[in-house]
Amino acid sequence: MIDVAITRRRKKFSVEINFSAQDDGITTLFGPSGSGKSTLIDMIAGLLRADSGRIALGDRVLFDSEKGINLPPEQRHLGYVFQDARLFPHMSVRSNLRYGMRRRAASQRRLAEADVVDLLGLEHLLARRPAQLSGGERHRVAIGRALLTSPELLLMDEPLASLDQPRKNEILPFIRRLPGELGMPVIYVSHALEEVIRLSDRVVVLTDGGVRAIGPVEEILSRPDLAPLTGRFWAGALIEARVTAHDETYALTSLTFSGGAFLVPRLEHPVGASVRIRVRSRDVSLALEPPKGSSVLNVIPATVREIVSDDQAQADIVLDAGGSRLLARITRKSVATLDLKEGSSVFAMIKAVSVERPSVERTDTAAQEEPQTHG
Amino acid sequence: MFSLTPLESEALMLSLRVGFWAVLGSLPFGLLIAWLLARVNFPGRAIVNGIVHLPLVLPPVVVGYLLLVTLGRNGPVGSLFHDWFGWTFAFTWQGAAIASAVVAFPLMVRSIRLGLDLVDRKLETAARTLGANRFDVFWSVTVPLVLPGILTGSVLAFARSIGEFGATITFVSNIPGQTQTLPLALYSATQAPGGDEAALRIVLVSCILAFAALATSELLARHVQRRLTGGTP
């Protein structure tokens, strides 16, 4: 459990942040630039000092202004992966990796050098100097260097912001594997929605130096009131599903989730794999009865939970499909025509082709046995 | 065709010894002062900065005289050293090394400080998060990265020491075999009737020495730079 309750006031920018979060899996701090994400993570790491408050990791107090506790960064035992990698240019990759490891008592080292090198695919880079690495390689080394200090928590401050999309795709799976495979909890700072969707277990939404919302990623992304932050165009729901079969004739894959069956274009993942799929609200339409003679393959019974609208044309409908949240964006006119209210029973219609492959992320730990495909 | 007289080669060896010890002795202080000036915002920083740079603008004779007054046998500091350790600086080669060190000090501090300003402080922060305390970070990250500045500063200070005249002659006088370094030997040669040939030899030796120092520093700097950038093939 990580508990944060801090304030820091400066002329230009003040933060007042309170939250508690489970310290397993990946917690993302999400928000626009200037929302206080980096300030917060630097205060957790001990690089910035809060004016008042308390930061604790389990029962280990890192900062407590009342008791006068402020551990220096080197005693907090947190890993920090910076946006700009920050490898030491005068050392080989191997020496970089060992820098933090050597400074950790042998009895405290939980991760073996060989395992981390293996996981991050660094074997062939060990003898090189940072100047001879590509951007993606540099970031992998930086992650390995932080991991080898056997931190109790890994902090990552937009580690992919400076990379292009292929490099991001190269590194994201490694990060996703950290909690499951190494038991390493991660706090991940990002303003990129895609990274949040692909990585997070839970999200802390920050705006203007305060916590706006906190919760599981599925919930946060399907909350209409956060849509201005999560992006109107991309607003939608995340669904946890399982691969049940592949249809080679029509190149389709069938999934099941708590709301029923779901067809999507053929996925590479094997039968039995867990996946997270993103369904944009603008791809979901509603009907009162199951349609006949329709091209839409996915028709899912659901109940209306909430209707959010203003004086604009569209309305966001929060649906419950067997415990999974779905989000539909339809016109206010349709809401009136169908006479939708909280509790109405509807059928959510989702075109199979609207689920694109990049919006599907494998989430179970068996993922690493698959060959990596890039780009 | 070209051979030094015993007295001249003695002056050469003395110059090298004075330069070597002047650099070695002032290096730890230079590093400390440069680090303080570059990294710590302490009260009185401007004053320290001024004092460090004073020898650069003061006439060397003034520096030599101030050294004589403070470090001489009867000076407030010199008498302590004499009473406690039995050390005498005035009119000894050790005194010449001190005079050279003081005069060359600003050059060394400036080079190291310039080097420190070029060190990415984010790397020092990263080292802290990897479990290194301030002292550890200084030795494992800062010093290796500022090595080019340290080398340049040392070579500059060495060259300045080899050429030191005013402070040396004022503080430790011009005693052949004791305190007569190359510039002092040159001065004596120009004062003696028929000393032109000797003067020419000393000038030549001084030029070779200066050139060798520059070449060494250039080679070392290149080597260090290659290590930092990872030896581009």
pLDDT in tens, B93-122: 999 999 999 999 999 999 999 999 989 999
Q: Percent of chain A having pLDDT more than 70?
A: 95
Query: B36 or A230: which carries more pLDDT confidence?
Result: B36
Spatial strand order of the sheet with A284-287 comes to A284-287, A345-350, A298-309, A314-321, A324-331
Q: Once rounded to an integer, what is the mean pLDDT over residues B44-60?
A: 92
CA distance A193 to A160: 13
How do residues A63-85 score in pLDDT, each as one tens digit? 999 999 999 999 999 999 999 99
How do residues A23-61 score in pLDDT, each as one tens digit? 788 999 998 888 889 899 999 999 999 999 999 998 899
Residues of B in contact with A147 (CB under 8 A): none
Q: Once rounded to an integer, what is the mean pLDDT over residues A349-366?
A: 74
Type of residue numbered B123 = L
Question: Phi and psi (nearest 5°) for A22?
Answer: -55, 135
Q: Cβ contact (<8 Å) for A146 and B144?
A: no
Q: Is B9 left (phi over 0), alpha (psi -120 to 50) or beta?
A: alpha
Q: Is A370's pLDDT higher than 50?
A: no
DSSP one-letter string for B75-131? SHHHHHHHHHH----TTSHHHHHHHHHHHHHHHHHHHHHHHHHHS-HHHHHHHHHTT
User: Which CATH number fits the domain that encloses residue B223?
Assistant: 1.10.3720.10
Residue A10 is given by DSSP the state: -
The answer for B 134-163 residues in CB contact with A (under 8 A) is 136, 140-141, 144-145
Mutation for B interface: A88, A98, A148, most B CBs within 10 A: A88
Give the residue on A whose Cα is nearest the Cα of B229: A131
Q: Once rounded to an integer, what is the mean pLDDT over residues A185-194?
A: 88
Mutation for B interface: A90, A101, A150, most B CBs within 10 A: A90
CA distance A39 to B21: 48
Give the global pTM: 0.78
pLDDT of the residue at A366: 47
pLDDT of the residue at A231: 67
Per the prediction, chain A carries an average pLDDT of 87
Question: Which residue among B120, B140, B229 sits closest to A131, beta carbon to beta carbon?
Answer: B229
Helix (H, G, I), strand (E, B) or coil at A366: helix
Q: How confident is the model at residue A123 (pLDDT cuts 50, 70, 90)?
A: very high
Q: Cβ contact (<8 Å) for B130 and A72?
A: no
Establish if B38 belongs to a structural domain. Answer: yes
Q: Once rounded to an integer, what is the mean pLDDT over residues A264-287?
A: 88
Give the residue on B whose Cα is nearest the Cα of A103: B131
Look at residues A86, A88, A97, A82 and name the one whose alpha carbon lies nearest to residue A159. A82
Mutation for A interface: B129, B140, B229, most A CBs within 10 A: B129
Establish if B1 belongs to a structural domain. Answer: no
Q: Once rounded to an integer, what is the mean pLDDT over residues A83-110?
A: 92
Question: Which residue among A47, A88, A90 sits closest to B125, beta carbon to beta carbon?
Answer: A47
Q: Is B233's pLDDT higher than 70?
A: no
Q: How confident is the model at residue A357 (pLDDT cuts 50, 70, 90)?
A: low
Look at residues A43, A51, A37 and name the one whose alpha carbon lies nearest to residue A9. A51
Q: Cα-Cα-Cα-Cα dihedral of A73, A77, A79, A85, to 10°?
A: 40
Question: Phi and psi (nearest 5°) for B150?
Answer: -65, -40
Establish if B218 belongs to a structural domain. Answer: yes
pLDDT of the residue at B230: 57
pLDDT of the residue at A234: 63
Residues of B in contact with A132 (CB under 8 A): 230
The string over A252-287, giving b where at least 16 C-beta atoms fall within 10 Å of a residue's C-beta and e elsewhere, is bbbbebebbebbbeebebeeebbbbbbbbbbbbbbe
Establish if B56 belongs to a structural domain. Answer: yes
Q: Which two tokens stand for residue B186?
A: 């040159």
CA B129-B132-B138 angle, to 5 degrees, is: 115
What is the number of helices (H) and of strands (E) in chain A? 9, 21
Q: Percent of chain A having pLDDT more than 90?
A: 44
- Taken in order of first residue, the domains within chain A and their CATH numbers are 2-221 (3.40.50.300), 236-362 (2.40.50.100)
Find how far residue A278's CA is from the centre of its chain: 13
Question: Which residue among A46, A82, A129 sits closest to B126, beta carbon to beta carbon?
Answer: A82
Q: Please answer whether residues B178 and B93 qualify as being in contact, where contact means their C-beta atoms are separated by less than 8 angstroms.
A: yes
Number of domains in chain B: 1
The Cα of A180 is separated from the nearest Cα of chain B by a number of Å equal to 23
pLDDT of the residue at A81: 95
Query: Roughly what angle, to the nearest 10 degrees, separates helices A135-147 and A113-120?
Result: 150
Q: Once rounded to an integer, what is the mean pLDDT over residues B39-57?
A: 90
Q: Cβ contact (<8 Å) for A72 and B128?
A: yes
Domain of B35? Answer: 6-229
CA distance B153 to B143: 13
How do residues A135-174 score in pLDDT, each as one tens digit? 889 999 999 999 999 999 999 999 888 888 888 887 888 8
Give the residue on B whose Cα is nearest the Cα of A149: B130
CA A167-A264-A257 angle, to 5 degrees, is: 100
Residues belonging to chain A with any Cβ–Cβ distance to chain B shorter than 8 Å: 45-47, 72-74, 77-80, 82, 84, 86, 88-90, 99-100, 103-104, 128-132, 145-146, 149
Q: Once rounded to an integer, what is the mean pLDDT over residues B65-83?
A: 86
Q: Cβ contact (<8 Å) for A90 and B145?
A: yes
